Structure 1
Amino acid sequence: MFTKQGPTLRELAVQALSSTQRGYDLLAPKFDHTPYRTPDRVLDSVTRALEPLGPFGTGLDVCCGTGAGAGVLRQVCRERVVGVDFSAGMLAEARAALPPGTGGPAVDWVRADALALPFAPSFDLALSIGAFGHFLPADRFGLFAEVYGSLRPGGRFVFPIGAPPAVGSRAYWSFLGFDAAMRVRNALWSPKFIMYYRTFRLSDVLDDLTGAGFSVRLMALTDLGERPDGSPRARLVVATRE
């Protein structure tokens, strides 16, 4: 599937019938050869948006996966970067992809649940990319509260968020169909695999961030293009622990 180096259809089926954690442990060695990895142009856009907000000392990549976000943090943080994920397989790939001495501060990799982060308020910047579909709406406030508790006063929690696809577009029906299939799968099969595309609405996200104590502003990621109505295709959410 996807590329010669990517997972086979059988491997994807096995992963989809596993728990979220086990599924990513299995997918990890081939994850970067799938469309699920955040594209480099998005990572580059986020990096450019963060540069004028710095400098930052310490950075935390929340749900780091194979380390794409940690790579961004190494470019904008001077002192220390930590990547945290609950998948041992993904962390192993991240360690191999970003070994010490490859530019920027070294990265410490921590295995932990993002809903129970094991950190004191010691980070200047927290980043998360491409992971929010793995959290149910009921868990989102708790996730934001955990990140808030890991930041120093004045620290920022940032993440890109794309505009919803136009109603009736191919992407709209694709996301709708995927989420419907996932709901059926989770109703009929255990353990559950949590991954949804349509549960991270901007208005709800802003409410939960504010409720967790953040002040929030949005930055247009203009280099990722505009929609037909002139609005940006993607924004960077910048939530600050005042």
Structure 2
Amino acid sequence: MPELPEVEVSRMGIAPHVTNQTVTEIVVRNPKLRWPVPEEIRHIEGQVIRRVSRRAKYLMLETDAGYAIIHLGMSGSLRVLPTGIPPEKHDHVDLCLSSGEVLRYNDPRRFGAWLWQPDQGEHPVLAKLGPEPLSEGFTAAYLQEKAKGKRTAVKQFIMDNHVVVGVGNIYANESLFAAGIHPKREVGKISAQRLALLVDEIKSVLAFAIEQGGTTLKDFKNADGKPGYFAQELQVYGKGGEPCPRCDKPLSEVKIGQRSTVYCSACQT
């Protein structure tokens, strides 16, 4: 599943091509995604896309009438193509633009979404989300307050979108390793100093991943280019049994909350 850095790179990639463009038509070939594509999505036709924003793993195409909400699900991707390129099997939605280009949504597993929210109010999928991890609202003091008295494993805690958005499995593994915190530690028993370090490492790991992903943008407009996971310099994720990059002890791998979790039993306490 694309995580926050991949979604942010997608936002960076499509924004120059769709911002200030008028939507001439939306073509929905298959409305049966994670949720049915609502008929109201057609309100975007004739509207100028003022801005492309992101909230958690949702992308928003903002117009004066409201905004389209896009979620890439587990296998979705967005491409900017010239008009006239025939759709492929899993190309479910086209947003035709006044520039003569098309924003095309491809999703083999159909776990993604296209939703619509009128100008007033907030869509229910966005209403109860925690702060953005790279925002000023995600601080050590905030995390300490949220963690008080909680017996939840710290890895599950930071992956909870009600606590903070966008810290998916890959980056939870990486951030906890960087902070030297065992993923099974009860979050309420971790010291304020160590939680402060964890906040710093979450911000650092995600920012670096976004920076790495930015190198893929040169291919974003290519008809064959489907930006997804980019080359990443991961320390522990996917490396269970390999030597720890710090101490050379074999990395342990377990399941926490049904998700693969890799850590060093010597370096993370």
TM over 0.5: no
Larger relative helix fraction: 1
Structure of greater Rg: 2
Q: What TM-score do the two structures reach when normalised by structure 1?
A: 0.29
State the TM-score, normalizing by the size of structure 2: 0.27
